[in-house]
């Protein structure tokens, strides 16, 4: 039997939206939300976090991991954050161990890794489950409404000022990609 290489299979999955026929709908409490900014979560420090604090700004939501081939994207994400944070822009990092166990660390280890290796200053939240199952984070339950879920680490969602998913980019799209930058700029202009 002829098999596709893993990289090609991941790329195909990363470009494919998830249809409602393939997976269950998000829980009713998530479906009822009108905005991403209506969600509450927890910071990497274990403190409650209200995503409403980002309402009125554009956010880039990224599922991050410390031991992934895409981990060097932290450099570009931090540069993007520093370039645009004064213009009503945020990056919100959500560590996830969903893909090949590439984020095995504790909250403290994740924080230390991000600070020491990439000098990350954008907000990082608690480790979450992005996949569709009973333990899926409400954050990713809401994002799934766009028809897309991460197929791997470092998938990116551009969230508009009113908390709607404005664009989705798979893992291979880097933070300096013109299409991603264009979607962010468009959302900032609205």
Contacts of 148 (CB under 8 A, 6+ apart): 17, 18, 155, 157, 165, 168
Q: Determine what percent of the chain falls in helix, strand and coil, rounding each to the nearest 5.
A: 35, 20, 45
CA distance 105 to 137: 18
> CA of 130: how far to CAs of 2, 101, 121, 149, 151, in Å?
30, 13, 23, 7, 9
CA distance 140 to 83: 26
List the beta strands (DSSP E) in the chain.
Answer: 40-42, 48-50, 58-64, 89-95, 156-159, 165-169
Tokens found for residue 100: 């090949």
Q: Is 90 a catalytic residue?
A: no
Select which of 2, 90, 117, 153 is catalytic.
117
Please name every residue paired with 93 in a beta bridge, in sequence order, or none if there are none.
62, 124
**In contact, 128 and 137? CB cutoff 8 Å:** yes
Tell me the catalytic residues.
117
């Amino acid at each position: 039997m002829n098999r596709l290489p893993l990289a090609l299979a991941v790329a195909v999955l990363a470009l494919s939206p998830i249809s409602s026929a393939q997976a269950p709908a998000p829980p009713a409490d998530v479906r009822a939300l009108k905005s991403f900014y209506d969600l509450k979560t927890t910071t990497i420090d274990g403190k409650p976090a209200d995503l409403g604090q980002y309402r009125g700004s554009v956010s880039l939501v990224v599922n991050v991991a410390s031991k992934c081939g895409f981990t060097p994207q932290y450099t570009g994400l931090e540069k993007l954050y520093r370039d645009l944070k004064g213009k009503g822009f945020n990056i919100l990092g959500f560590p996830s161990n969903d893909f090949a166990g590439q984020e095995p660390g504790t909250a403290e280890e994740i924080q230390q890794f991000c600070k020491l290796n990439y000098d990350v200053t954008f907000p990082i939240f608690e480790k979450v489950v992005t996949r569709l199952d009973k333990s899926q984070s409400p954050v990713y339950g809401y994002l799934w409404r766009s028809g897309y879920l991460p197929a791997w680490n470092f998938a990116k969602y551009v969230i508009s000022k009113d908390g709607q998913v404005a664009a989705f980019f798979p893992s291979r799209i880097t933070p300096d990609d013109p299409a991603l930058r264009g979607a962010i700029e468009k959302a900032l202009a609205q």
